[in-house]
Each structure stands twice: as C-alpha cells, then as structure tokens.
C-alpha cells in the first residue's frame, strides 16, 4: 500500500502519518493563530501612540521655547525678578504655606465626614509631600497617586481616599468656576468682543463639565447602568473597588451641610491663591487696581486649572501667561509673574522634599500600593 507523507503542523512539529488532527485540535490551532496575528497590533499600538504623543510634546515645547526666546525680553524679566521686594516675597511664601494648611484641613474634613480618622498634622504632612511632587513632576496624576499611598499607610481605606479626593476636586472646581464667572463680569467691559466671547465659552464649558462630573458621581441610575456595561470587562478586584468608591461618593451626597462647609473652604482657598498672585504681582511692580487684578487672576486660574488637568503643569503655566497678556498684563510682566508664582510655591513646598526623603517613599512603592487591593 502507498505510504502517506507525514503532514506538517504549523508549529513546526511532525505528526504520525496514521493520525489526523481532531476537530477540537484544529479549532485550537486556528484560535492560537488568530491570537498570534492579533497580538502584534495590540502590543505595539499603545507604544506607537506613546512615541507619537512624546514627539508632539517635544515639538510643542520646542516651539514654545523658541516663541518665548523671540517674544520675551528676558533681560527685563530677570530685572523684574531680581527687583522683587523682600517683604513681598516673604509674604507670598507665608500665604503659600497657609494655603497648604487650609488645603490639608479641607481634605481632612472630608475624610472625617466619610468616617475616616486623620490627624491634622498627618494631613498637612501629606499635602506638603504631594505639593512638592506636583511641582517637580510633570503629571498631576503622580502626586495624587502619592497622596493615596501616604493615606493608605495611615490605614485609611482606598475607596474613602479616592472619594474624598474626588469630592475635594469637585468643590474646588465649583469654587473656581464661580469666581471666574464673577471675574469675567468685572472685566467684561475691558475686553474685546471676541475675547469676551472666548472666555465666556471657557466658563460655560467648565460649568458643563462640572455638572457632568457631579452627575457621574451622584446619580445612582448611571452607576447601575455603567456597572452592567463594564462588569464583564473589568477585573473583579477593580470592579469591587469602583463599587465601593461610588458608594462612598453617594454617601457624601447625604451630608449637604458638610459639602457646603467644604465649598466655602474651597472658595477661601481660591481667594487665598488669588491674593498670593496679587502680592507677587505687586512685588514685581505690576500696575493694576486690586479689583480688576483679582478678576483677571480668577479667570486665568480657571483656564490654568483646566489646562493642568489636560496635560500637566507645563501647559497650565503656559496658558496662564497667555491669559495674562490677553487680559491686559504686559507680556514680560506676565512671564515674570508666572515664573515667580511657580518659584514661590516650589519654595513653600520644600518641606515636603524633606518629609519624602525621611519617609523613604519610592516610585515603585507608590505604584504597588496604589493598585486595587
């Protein structure tokens, strides 16, 4: 009888001539082949996107650096910074330090309302550390992950940490939107119609986004709908964390008095930041009456806050420079004001560097402890 030539299997192994692959084996091989063909785009696409995004950032930074080099009189900027009054700098540092304490008190208030226990000194220590990380690292998410890590070291549950941070950000955004709207009304007559329309659109968009965030945080039917949609796609541990987080957010909704108090503290913190800008501006010699200056800072701070959430501190500070010039601040003074404000806040957060060094925190520890447990 004729001898059958052994069949060649795709994986490179030889099979006996007297055996033939079963239907289950053929299906398994087909599935493995499809997975192998699909694995390359799944792995490489995020890497290509990361490279593309990094390249775009480098190009934008280079363009911004070139524009600043050609557009700004750096001799005048340097002279303005060197000519700042010592009293003004010390007062700005004191205001920035007071802001850290107020922010820590505001966050501690939400943690305690949610059923957690935290000493004020611990909250202040955490805020100093995260403030320093926020000023030296490009991404805001990194400092927030550090706050979660440090809070978990104190024994505070992750859902409560994330929930209190989300409510804190929400209250801060509402306060910033309200102050920006008031500021826009004050300076509206001094703006060209096009700029007035653009800033109005910014406030309206920020208001809509804030309303959507509140809806996502507190509307339980949306939670149930989202839970049914993502449950089979999300790992069980992560889904459990999300469910506990949403329960924490909904629990805050049942305490309106605490939310109103926290909102008032957020308004006070925003006013303190605006006052700090004003003190630095006066120390630099920026000549604007107090009320218009406060209005300009309120509008610019909202744009800066939104820009920082989109792409980090670099975009936020750059948008502040543009906003100051649009609102009547001379371009060299706008650059000096933004740089001095950053330098003052970085100097005020330096105790956080010491606290970070003393605690021995590493990036690996933060990444591991911030993962769902």
Rounded to the nearest 5 percent, the helix, strand and coil shares of the chain are: 80, 0, 20
73 vs 335: CA distance, rounded Å: 10
In the chain, the number of structural domains is 1
The answer to the question of residue 314 being in a domain is yes
The pLDDT, as a whole number, for residue 182 is 85
The answer to the question of residue 24 being in a domain is no
Is the Cα dihedral 327, 330, 331, 334 positive or negative?
Answer: negative
The answer to the question of residue 127 being in a domain is yes
**Phi, psi dihedral angles at 213 (to 5 degrees):** -65, -40
The pLDDT, as a whole number, for residue 94 is 95
The answer to the question of residue 262 being in a domain is yes
Give the model confidence (pLDDT) of 86-121 as tens digits.
Answer: 898 999 999 999 999 999 999 999 999 998 999 999
The answer to the question of residue 142 being in a domain is yes
Calculated CA dihedral for residues 255, 258, 263, 268, nearest 10 degrees: 180
135 vs 131: CA distance, rounded Å: 6
Domain that holds residue 361: 72-369
The pLDDT, as a whole number, for residue 307 is 61
The answer to the question of residue 189 being in a domain is yes
CA-nearest of 120, 125, 96 to 108 is: 120
CA-nearest of 360, 323, 366, 316 to 342 is: 316
The pLDDT, as a whole number, for residue 286 is 77
The pLDDT, as a whole number, for residue 33 is 44
Q: What is the DSSP letter of 2?
A: P
The answer to the question of residue 8 being in a domain is no
DSSP class per residue in 234-288: S-HHHHHHHHHHHHHHHHHHT-HHHHHHHHHHHHHHHHHHHHHHHHHHHHHT---
State the CB neighbour count (10 A cutoff) for residue 359. Answer: 14
Q: Could you say which residues of the chain have pLDDT below 70?
A: 1-70, 138-141, 189-195, 288, 304, 306-320, 322-328, 362-373
Q: Is the CB of residue 135 less than 8 Å from the CB of residue 342?
A: yes
CA-nearest of 150, 87, 80 to 118 is: 150
The pLDDT, as a whole number, for residue 274 is 87
The pLDDT, as a whole number, for residue 194 is 65
pTM of the model: 0.73
């Amino acid at each position: 009888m004729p001898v059958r030539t052994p069949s060649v299997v795709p994986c490179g192994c030889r099979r006996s001539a007297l055996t033939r692959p079963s239907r289950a084996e053929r299906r398994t091989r087909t599935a493995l082949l499809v997975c192998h063909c699909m694995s390359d785009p799944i792995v490489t696409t995020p890497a290509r996107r990361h490279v593309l995004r990094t390249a775009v950032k480098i190009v934008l930074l280079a363009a911004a650096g070139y524009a600043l080099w050609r557009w700004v009189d750096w001799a005048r900027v340097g002279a303005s910074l060197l000519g700042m009054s010592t009293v003004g700098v010390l007062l700005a540092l004191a205001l920035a330090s007071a802001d850290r304490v107020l922010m820590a008190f505001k966050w501690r208030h939400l943690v305690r309302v949610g059923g957690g226990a935290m000493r004020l000194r611990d909250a202040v220590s955490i805020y100093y550390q995260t403030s320093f990380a926020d000023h030296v690292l490009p991404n805001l998410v990194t400092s927030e992950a550090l706050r979660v890590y440090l809070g978990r070291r104190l024994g505070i549950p992750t859902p409560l940490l994330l929930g209190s941070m989300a409510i804190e950000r929400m209250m801060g955004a509402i306060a910033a939107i309200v102050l920006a709207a008031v500021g826009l009304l004050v300076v509206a007559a001094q703006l060209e119609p096009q700029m007035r329309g653009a800033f109005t659109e910014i406030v309206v968009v920020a208001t809509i986004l804030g309303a959507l965030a509140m809806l996502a945080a507190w509307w339980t039917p949306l939670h149930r709908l989202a839970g049914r949609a993502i449950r089979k796609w999300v790992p069980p541990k992560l889904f459990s964390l999300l469910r506990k987080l949403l329960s924490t957010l909904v629990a805050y909704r049942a305490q309106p008095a605490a939310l109103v108090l926290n909102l008032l503290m957020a308004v006070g913190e925003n006013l303190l930041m605006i006052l700090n800008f004003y003190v630095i501006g006066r120390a630099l010699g920026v000549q604007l009456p107090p009320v218009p200056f406060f209005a300009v800072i309120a509008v610019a701070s909202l744009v800066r806050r939104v820009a920082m959430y989109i792409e980090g501190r670099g975009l936020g500070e750059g948008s502040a420079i543009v906003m100051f010039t649009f609102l009547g601040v001379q371009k060299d003074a706008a650059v000096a004001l933004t740089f001095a404000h950053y330098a003052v806040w970085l100097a005020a957060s330096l105790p956080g560097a010491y606290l970070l060094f003393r605690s021995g925190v590493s990036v690996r520890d933060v990444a591991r402890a911030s993962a769902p447990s």
